[in-house]
């Protein structure tokens, strides 16, 4: 028989709140859901929600921190050549989109001007970490001949991040996930095309 302590029950409830709020945020954005929506879905009181997350801004910051940690863990688990790493990176986005959701931080970025300061800071941290990861593999790929591109790895990483996030928004607008896949494939292919052109 498993004994559930008070602290573990609190943690379990917090996790359930974050899970439900995360799903709502990825579907509707930060301004598209309320504590009432979460309370109804989890069958708990709004007072209980405020006990775990005093304000929606606090909840929003916790969502970004959690999403960043999970995304980073997924990146840390990837292995392979730089070219394969980038393809698996794209697959992380595709797996979200096929469930009719958006990258949480991409969704929040569209609402940036309405977000509290702590959420903005965590949002920038997410994109900084992603761009650093991409830049590292882009630099390795150029060194070993996988990629050829103009400019610095950081500039290329920023272009890829912007391209993938924008492609997600448009694909979801048209309800056509394949639009994202086609754009992502073209972005990756351009790196290899440049390499082939140089060799020819």
To the nearest whole number, what is the mean pLDDT of the chain?
92
d(CA 130, CA 76): 11
d(CA 133, CA 139): 10
Rounded to an integer, the average pLDDT of 43-62 is: 96
pLDDT at residue 193 in the model: 60
Its CATH architecture, for the domain 6-199, is Orthogonal Bundle (1.10)
1-52 pLDDT, tens per residue?
Answer: 344 456 787 789 999 999 999 999 999 999 999 999 999 999 999 999 999 9
Say what percent of the chain tops pLDDT 70. 93
d(CA 25, CA 163): 21
Question: What is the domain partition of the chain in residue ranges?
Answer: 6-199
DSSP per-residue string spanning 169-198: HHHHHTT-HHHHHHHHHHHHHHHHHHHHHH
> Which of 34 and 100 is assigned the larger pLDDT?
34
pTM of the model: 0.90
Rounded to an integer, the average pLDDT of 88-92 is: 96
Q: Assign 200 a pLDDT band (cuts: 50, 70, 90).
A: very low
């Amino acid at each position: 028989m498993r004994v559930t302590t008070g602290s573990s029950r609190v943690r379990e409830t917090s996790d359930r709140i974050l899970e439900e709020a995360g799903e709502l945020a990825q579907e509707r954005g930060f301004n598209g859901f309320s504590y009432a929506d979460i309370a109804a879905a989890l069958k708990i009181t709004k007072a209980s929600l405020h006990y775990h997350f005093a304000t929606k801004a606090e909840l929003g910051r916790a969502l970004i921190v959690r999403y960043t940690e999970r995304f980073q863990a997924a990146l840390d688990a990837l292995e392979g050549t730089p070219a394969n790493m980038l393809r698996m990176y794209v697959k992380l986005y595709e797996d979200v989109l096929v469930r009719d959701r958006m990258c949480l931080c991409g969704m929040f970025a569209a609402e940036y001007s309405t977000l509290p300061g702590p959420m903005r800071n965590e949002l920038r941290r997410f994109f900084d970490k992603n761009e650093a990861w991409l830049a590292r593999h882009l630099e390795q790929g150029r060194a070993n001949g996988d990629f050829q591109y103009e400019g610095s790895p950081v500039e290329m990483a920023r272009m890829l991040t912007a391209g993938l996030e924008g492609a997600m928004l448009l694909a979801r607008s048209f309800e056509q996930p394949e639009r994202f896949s086609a754009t992502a494939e073209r972005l990756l292919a351009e790196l290899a095309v440049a390499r082939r052109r140089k060799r020819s």
